Amino acid sequence: MAQMRRTPARTAPVTLQAHARLEVETPGQGFTDITREAAAFLAETEAASGLLVLFCRHTSASLTIQENADPDVRRDLLTALDRLAPRDLGWVHDLEGPDDMPAHVRALVTDSGLSIPVIDGRLALGTWQGIYLIEHRDAPHRRDIVMLFTGTARN
Amino acid sequence: MAQMRRTPARTAPVTLQAHARLEVETPGQGFTDITREAAAFLAETEAASGLLVLFCRHTSASLTIQENADPDVRRDLLTALDRLAPRDLGWVHDLEGPDDMPAHVRALVTDSGLSIPVIDGRLALGTWQGIYLIEHRDAPHRRDIVMLFTGTARN
Amino acid sequence: MAQMRRTPARTAPVTLQAHARLEVETPGQGFTDITREAAAFLAETEAASGLLVLFCRHTSASLTIQENADPDVRRDLLTALDRLAPRDLGWVHDLEGPDDMPAHVRALVTDSGLSIPVIDGRLALGTWQGIYLIEHRDAPHRRDIVMLFTGTARN
């Protein structure tokens, strides 16, 4: 049996929402760390505590939270995604090229959106967690992410 | 390095939550577009800006955001899910039939819930994004989805 | 065509956020049911309606909502995760052992966060849904989960 321990709940009012768009020019397939941009948005909003939602407005790119220390992890994650959604599977939808349908499958098994608590003005990420946009297409693309904060601001 | 650009944050109060249940009778395995129902719920609520959460109350059906243009994409996604969670893998849990355990695995790798920002009264979906319920079982099922909006209403 | 039916929207104010940390000592690879802890947090907060977000602060453990009836389902899900992310794939990142990189891949295809509506003071889970922390590493680990409620409280 797993041991569990829960801290007492801390409460605050909910007074504010704020949103912004983040545009990312990706260099093609791979991971782009957007943690700093999310933190900058929270700083600009003077967010104190609440919820940050990130939403990717595309179906051939997606979001994930992954290890930010060893870059080999991201390299291996690309290998894993290649294996989960190979190019040469005889996809019916191939008008946009052999990397298009695998991109949709990779978006399916990862996340279109992320929800991250904000506590004491900071993202409640673990030490080794970074927020990444994953470009699934070969070619560079301009990607649109919506950031939405709901909570309370410093006063 | 990826280029990034962030728009200034726009803020609004948070005054309102609203929820409703959406019941979907699925025709068996496949994708059902529920975007229009989500939009109708927001219209009824007179939602201006905030967050829409959709939650699927089942473990053999799930949700995803995927391309809404070419139906071949959904066909290929079913092929991909079949490959990720085949029927003939010697599953221990098979009392409810050979399509039951693969259904749980497919629910595991897709989404039980979706979080979508609402801006200027509209879902902040990209041009090619639709919201889908994925039925993973062979037989028709009645599926229950909870929709929850948190934000502010038009006045 | 799928038949759909939508209940009228019910509204409430948004007045409150509350957060707490849940620490789970996992016994190694496997599923730990944390539904009861999430419900206890809501009870302590006197949550009436709104949104509960759970967030896992690790990249080699993750969250999911899955069937809570037959334990064989979780056994089969582990088999499925083993197949989706095998150990012997020649991962580059292997400093922390052969179970580390597969753990990141399993976190990638499952969820770092969950968003669950709360209605009438209760999690809007389906009858057969439980909330699980999935430990992907072999060894026991202490895992940190942040719980955040946004909504309104009983008065």
Q: Residues of chain A with pLDDT > 70: what percent?
A: 99
Q: Taking CB atoms and an 8 Å cutoff, what residues of chain C touch A15?
A: none
Chain C touched by A66 (CB under 8 Å): yes
| Cβ–Cβ gap C17/A5 under 8 Å | no
A22 is written with which tokens? 């983040």
CA B69 to chain centre: 16
| Cβ–Cβ gap C114/B115 under 8 Å | no
Q: C-alpha distances in angstroms, B11 versus A31, A120, B7, B85, C1?
A: 30, 19, 12, 43, 40
Q: Give CA–CA dist C33/B5, Å, rounded.
A: 41
pLDDT confidence of residue B1: 65
Q: Name the band, by pLDDT with cuts 50, 70 and 90, for residue C1.
A: low
Angle CA A23–C110–C87, to nearest 5: 110
- Per-residue buried b or exposed e for A13-37, using 16+ beta carbons within 10 Å of the residue's own CB: ebbbbbbbbbebebeebbbbebbeb
pLDDT confidence of residue C66: 98
Chain B touched by A16 (CB under 8 Å): yes
pLDDT confidence of residue B147: 98
Residue C30 gets the label, from left (phi > 0), alpha (psi -120 to 50) or beta, of left
- Mean pLDDT is lowest, of A4-8, B36-40, B97-101, C1-5, for C1-5
Strand partners, B51: B117, B150
Whole-structure pTM value: 0.97
Chain C touched by B150 (CB under 8 Å): yes
Chain B touched by A47 (CB under 8 Å): no
pLDDT confidence of residue C44: 97
Asked if residue C16 has pLDDT above 70, the reply is yes
Of C6, C73, C110, the CB nearest to B20: C6
Task: Find the residue in A nearest to B117 (Cα).
Answer: A148
Among residues A45, A37, B56, which one has the least CA distance to residue C125? B56
> ipTM, 2 decimals?
0.97
Task: Find the residue in C nearest to A126 (Cα).
Answer: C57
Chain C touched by A148 (CB under 8 Å): no
Q: Taking CB atoms and an 8 Å cutoff, what residues of chain A touch B35?
A: none
Of C1, C76, C124, the CB nearest to B92: C76
How many helices (DSSP H) and strands (DSSP E) are in chain B? 3, 10
pLDDT in tens, B8-58: 999 999 999 999 999 999 999 999 999 999 999 999 999 999 999 999 999
pLDDT confidence of residue A73: 96
pLDDT in tens, C81-101: 999 999 999 999 998 999 999
pLDDT in tens, C26-58: 999 999 999 999 999 999 999 999 999 999 999
pLDDT confidence of residue A104: 97
Q: Give CA–CA dist A141/A127, Å, rounded.
A: 30
Residue A98 gets the label, from left (phi > 0), alpha (psi -120 to 50) or beta, of alpha
pLDDT confidence of residue C11: 96
What is the mean pLDDT of the segment spanning A84-89? 94
| Cβ–Cβ gap C23/A4 under 8 Å | yes
- CB contacts < 8 A, B to C, total 143
Among residues A109, A123, A137, A154, which one has the least CA distance to residue A39? A123
| Cβ–Cβ gap C104/A67 under 8 Å | yes
Q: Name the band, by pLDDT with cuts 50, 70 and 90, for residue C131.
A: very high
Residue A155, helix vs strand vs coil: coil
Chain C touched by A79 (CB under 8 Å): yes
| Cβ–Cβ gap A91/B76 under 8 Å | yes
Mean pLDDT over each residue of chain B, to the nearest integer: 96
pLDDT confidence of residue C13: 95
Chain B touched by C111 (CB under 8 Å): yes
Chain C touched by B91 (CB under 8 Å): yes
| Cβ–Cβ gap B146/C7 under 8 Å | no
**Contacts by B152-155 with C-beta closer than 8 Å and gap 24+?**
B152/A17, B152/B12, B152/B13, B152/B14, B152/B15, B152/B16, B152/B47, B152/B48, B152/B49, B152/B50, B153/B15, B153/B16, B153/B45, B153/B46, B153/B47, B153/B48, B154/B46, B154/B47, B154/B48, B154/B121
Chain C touched by A3 (CB under 8 Å): yes
| Cβ–Cβ gap A14/C14 under 8 Å | yes
Q: Taking CB atoms and an 8 Å cutoff, what residues of chain B touch A59?
A: 65-67, 73, 126, 128-129
pLDDT confidence of residue A1: 64
pLDDT confidence of residue C95: 87
pLDDT confidence of residue A61: 98
Task: Find the residue in B nearest to A55 (Cα).
Answer: B116
Chain A touched by C79 (CB under 8 Å): no
| Cβ–Cβ gap C20/A2 under 8 Å | no
Q: Find the length of chain C.
A: 155
Please identify which residue in the block is written with the tokens 């104010």: C13
Chain A touched by B52 (CB under 8 Å): no
Asked if residue A95 has pLDDT above 90, the reply is no
What is the mean pLDDT of the segment spanning B62-73? 96
